[in-house]
């Protein structure tokens, strides 16, 4: 098993590549900032990972995961997201307090325990925040998601993924029941004021600004 440091670098590079689209290179500045290390520290680790075949590194251009690096990244994501779901569904923890626990456990859980956990949870495809859980074969499902703030008035959508998983924002969503799986209809969208309102299937309503809605990804209901 790779060290926790190696896994953290690989996982972060994967996340940054995902944000900017397939085939993109991650700059050393972006990587260092995301990992909260100095550029020199990041460069030293990247050179080591390039020698081990986990990534391709081009000075002044950036880094890109190799096939082996992507395989490892998906395995770490699978561990992290299954652990998060286990902490919520089985241990009853709140979804805003599970990230740090999963960050620790993802590096030490064995494959045997992970697969037992997967079976116990019913082989889920998404974690509590709506992030896709890679399969044991390293396959990650593709979904066509749209930020809620881009939806039109009168449209009915299903909340599918929360982009911002900062604790305070998750608590805000929880208190307003804006959680993955919930269907809502946009009842008002004011582009000038930058606010929108939604109504749930049970008739409850919620209003929010575009900045908050932009962090909620949805798909068409049904």
- Per residue in 182-200, pLDDT (tens digit) is 999 999 999 999 999 999 9
- Listed residues 65, 89, 112: the one ending a domain: 65
Contact 217, 160 (CB under 8 A): yes
Q: Which strand (E) or helix (H) includes residue 220? A: strand 216-220
Indicate the number of domains in the chain: 2
Contact 73, 11 (CB under 8 A): yes
User: What's the domain range around 206?
Assistant: 146-220
Please check the confidence at residue 154 and state whether its pLDDT lies above 60.
Answer: yes
Q: Is residue 107 part of a domain?
A: no
Both tokens assigned to 141: 């499902």
Please check the confidence at residue 1 and state whether its pLDDT lies above 90.
Answer: no
CATH of the domain at 15: 1.10.10.10
Percent of the residues in the chain that have a pLDDT greater than 70, as a whole number? 97
CATH of the domain at 210: 2.30.30.90
Please check the confidence at residue 161 and state whether its pLDDT lies above 90.
Answer: yes
- Listed residues 47, 65, 83: the one ending a domain: 65
- Listed residues 29, 49, 65: the one ending a domain: 65
Contacts of 205 (CB under 8 A, 6+ apart): 187, 197, 198, 199
Both tokens assigned to 163: 């982009």
pLDDT at res. 2? 76
Q: How many CB atoms lie within 10 A of CB 76?
A: 21
**Measured distance CA(74)–CA(11) in Å, rounded:** 8
Q: Tell me the pLDDT tens digit for each residue of 18-76.
A: 877 666 789 999 999 999 999 999 999 999 999 999 999 999 899 999 999 999 999 99
**Nearest CA to 6 among 42, 30, 40?**
42
Q: Is residue 102 part of a domain?
A: no
- List, in sequence order, every residue forming a beta bridge with 65; answer none if it has no partner: 55
Q: Is residue 197 part of a domain?
A: yes
Both tokens assigned to 71: 């395989």
pLDDT at res. 23? 61
**Measured distance CA(132)–CA(60) in Å, rounded:** 32
**Measured distance CA(110)–CA(149) in Å, rounded:** 40
- List, in sequence order, every residue forming a beta bridge with 216; answer none if it has no partner: 162
pLDDT at res. 137? 92
pLDDT at res. 149? 96
**Measured distance CA(187)–CA(184) in Å, rounded:** 9
Predicted model pTM: 0.88
Mean pLDDT in residue range 86-101: 94
């Amino acid at each position: 098993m790779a060290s926790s440091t190696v896994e953290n670098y690989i996982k972060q590079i994967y996340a940054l590549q995902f944000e900017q689209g397939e085939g993109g290179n991650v700059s050393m500045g972006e990587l260092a900032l995301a990992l909260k290390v100095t550029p020199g520290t990041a460069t030293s680790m990247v050179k080591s990972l390039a020698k081990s075949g986990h990534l391709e590194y081009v000075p002044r251009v950036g880094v890109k995961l190799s096939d082996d690096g992507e395989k490892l990244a998906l395995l770490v994501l699978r561990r992290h997201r299954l652990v998060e779901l286990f902490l919520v569904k089985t241990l009853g923890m709140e979804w805003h307090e599970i990230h740090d626990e999963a960050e620790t456990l993802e590096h030490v859980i064995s494959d045997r325990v992970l697969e037992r956990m997967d079976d116990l949870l019913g082989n889920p495809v998404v974690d509590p925040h709506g992030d896709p859980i890679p399969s044991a074969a390293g396959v990650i499902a593709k979904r066509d998601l749209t930020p809620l703030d881009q939806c039109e008035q009168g449209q009915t959508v299903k909340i599918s993924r929360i982009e911002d998983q900062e604790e305070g924002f998750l608590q805000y969503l929880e208190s307003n029941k804006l959680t993955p799986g919930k269907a809502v209809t946009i009842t008002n969208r004011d582009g000038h004021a930058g606010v929108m309102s939604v109504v749930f299937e049970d008739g409850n309503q919620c209003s929010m600004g575009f900045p908050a809605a932009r962090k909620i990804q949805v798909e068409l209901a049904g």
